[in-house]
């Protein structure tokens, strides 16, 4: 008899805990955010100018962070940044550790099965950096060792289009670039704007060049947990308003404008029609 009650009590507690827990998951994320007063966002910490650590105050800052701050302001809550690399983005979102992903998150159909995307706020194409004079045309890629970031579309695209290339995946772009510098890989792949910004900040930039071709057309959006339609609507309306009142252009100017470290003309505005890849 004693054994029976002993077994029943923890079992009942566990069931109660799971039931309460499951019910909690069905509450709307937007309400949770407003109740907690905090919007948790995953952003890069080593990918200037999208997300990086400002050495002056050791806070994470960047283009993605500015957009995230605008969303937090429109919700009336504080912004909390969780540093991430490309490999951990989706995991953070799916396991509920963050509410949104602002990390140069490329929109793909495969990913749409797992997460929802906002309207795109950035456009780019997959490009390559190599030591000067090494990579001149896409055909060479099949014979090279290429560094990529784990969990990025760049990695998947190169693997799909150049099956004979050897791809080494690293946790983040600076790792891949270090591998390029030591000669471990002959080229690395990432979104064009990221590579431009990376090259501008590298101390020995004269030795490297960005190859003059892209192999895709990609759009980046905000990652939203699947099924959170009210949150998604808030994010979309914030982004559209930012474009309408010119703040989106200002944010772009701050990081990619003529006075920035890596100027790039703004070819895509929020709400522009998407080209097919």
Partner 1 sequence: MHNWLEPKYLAWLEQGFLVTLMLSACAALCATPLGFVLAVARTARTGAIARGAAAYVFVFRNSPLLVQLLFWYFGAAAVLPPAWMAWLNTPHAVTLGTLTLRWPSFELFAGWVGLTCYTTAFIGEEFLAGMRGVNPAQGQAAAALGMSRYATLRYVILPQALRIATPPLAGQYMNVIKNSSLTMAIGVGELSYMSRQVDTESFRTFQAFGTATVFYVLAIAVIEVALVLWQRTGVRTLQRGRV
Partner 2 sequence: MNGFDWLPALRYLLLGAFPAGPLGGVALTFVLSVVSALLAALFGLAGGIALAMTRGFAHLALTVVVAFFRAIPVLMLIFWTFFLMPILLHVDVPGLATVVCALALIGGAYLSHSVYAGITSIGDGQRQAALSLGLTRWQTLREVILPQAVRVMMPSFVNQWVSLIKDTSLAYIVGVPEFTFLANQLNNRLMVYPAQIFLFVALVYLLLCGALQWVANALLVRRKSTRLRASEVQAGKLMHELQNCR
Residues of this chain that bind partner 2 (CB under 8 A): 18, 21-22, 24-25, 45-46, 52-53, 55-59, 82-85, 88, 91-92, 94-97, 171-172, 174-175, 177-178, 181, 202-204
- Cβ of residue 55: shortest distance to partner 2, in angstroms? 7
* 63-75 and 247-256 helices, crossing angle to 10°: 150
- Cβ of residue 1: shortest distance to partner 2, in angstroms? 18
Strands 46-47 and 51-54: antiparallel
- Cβ of residue 206: shortest distance to partner 1, in angstroms? 16
- Look at residue 142 and give the partner it binds from partner 1, partner 2, none, a contact being a CB closer than 5 to 8 Å depending on partner kind: none
- Cβ of residue 103: shortest distance to partner 2, in angstroms? 12
- Cβ of residue 57: shortest distance to partner 2, in angstroms? 7
C-alpha count within 13 angstroms, C-beta hemisphere, residue 85:
14
- β partners of residue 191: 126
- Look at residue 170 and give the partner it binds from partner 2, partner 1, none, a contact being a CB closer than 5 to 8 Å depending on partner kind: partner 1
- Look at residue 57 and give the partner it binds from partner 1, partner 2, none, a contact being a CB closer than 5 to 8 Å depending on partner kind: partner 2
Decide whether 107 or 234 has the Cβ nearer to partner 1.
107
- β partners of residue 169: 148
Decide whether 3 or 95 has the Cβ nearer to partner 1.
95
Phi, psi for 100 (deg, rounded to 5): -135, 155
Residue for token pair 């009336």: 76
Decide whether 30 or 224 has the Cβ nearer to partner 1.
224
CA geometry: angle 172, 174, 179, nearest 5 deg: 100
- Look at residue 227 and give the partner it binds from partner 1, partner 2, none, a contact being a CB closer than 5 to 8 Å depending on partner kind: none
Give residues in contact with partner 1 (CB under 8 A).
87, 90-91, 113-114, 145, 150-151, 156, 168-171, 175, 178-179, 181-184
- Cβ of residue 92: shortest distance to partner 2, in angstroms? 7
Structure token pair of residue 243: 């474009």
CA distance linking residue 21 with residue 112, whole number of Å: 26
Q: Kindly calculate the radius of gyration of the chain based on its CA atoms and give it in whole angstroms.
A: 21
CA geometry: angle 224, 227, 228, nearest 5 deg: 55
């Amino acid at each position: 008899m004693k054994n029976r009650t002993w077994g029943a009590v923890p079992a009942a507690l566990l069931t109660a805990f799971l039931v309460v827990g499951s019910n909690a998951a069905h509450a709307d994320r937007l309400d949770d955010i407003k109740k907690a007063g905090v919007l948790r966002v995953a952003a890069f910490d080593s990918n200037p100018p999208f997300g990086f650590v400002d050495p002056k105050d050791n806070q994470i800052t960047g283009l993605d962070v500015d957009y995230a701050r605008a969303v937090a302001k429109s919700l009336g809550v504080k912004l909390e940044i969780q540093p991430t690399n490309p490999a951990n983005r989706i995991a953070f979102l799916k396991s509920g550790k963050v509410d949104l992903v602002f990390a140069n998150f490329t929109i793909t159909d495969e990913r749409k099965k797992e997460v929802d995307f906002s309207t795109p706020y950035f456009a780019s194409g997959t490009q390559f950096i190599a030591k000067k004079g090494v990579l001149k045309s896409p055909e060479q890629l099949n014979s090279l060792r290429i560094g990529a970031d784990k969990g990025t579309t760049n990695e998947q695209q190169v693997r799909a289009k150049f099956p004979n290339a050897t791809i080494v995946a690293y946790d983040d772009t600076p790792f891949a670039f270090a591998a390029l510098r030591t000669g471990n890989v002959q080229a690395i792949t990432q979104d064009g704007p990221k590579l431009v910004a990376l090259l501008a900040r590298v101390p020995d930039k004269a030795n490297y060049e960005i190859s003059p071709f892209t192999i895709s057309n990609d759009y980046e959006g905000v990652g939203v947990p699947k099924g959170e339609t009210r949150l998604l609507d808030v994010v979309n309306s914030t982004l559209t308003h930012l474009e309408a009142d010119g703040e989106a252009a200002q944010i772009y100017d701050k990081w990619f404008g003529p006075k920035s470290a890596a100027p790039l003309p703004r070819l895509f505005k929020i709400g522009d029609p998407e080209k097919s890849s």
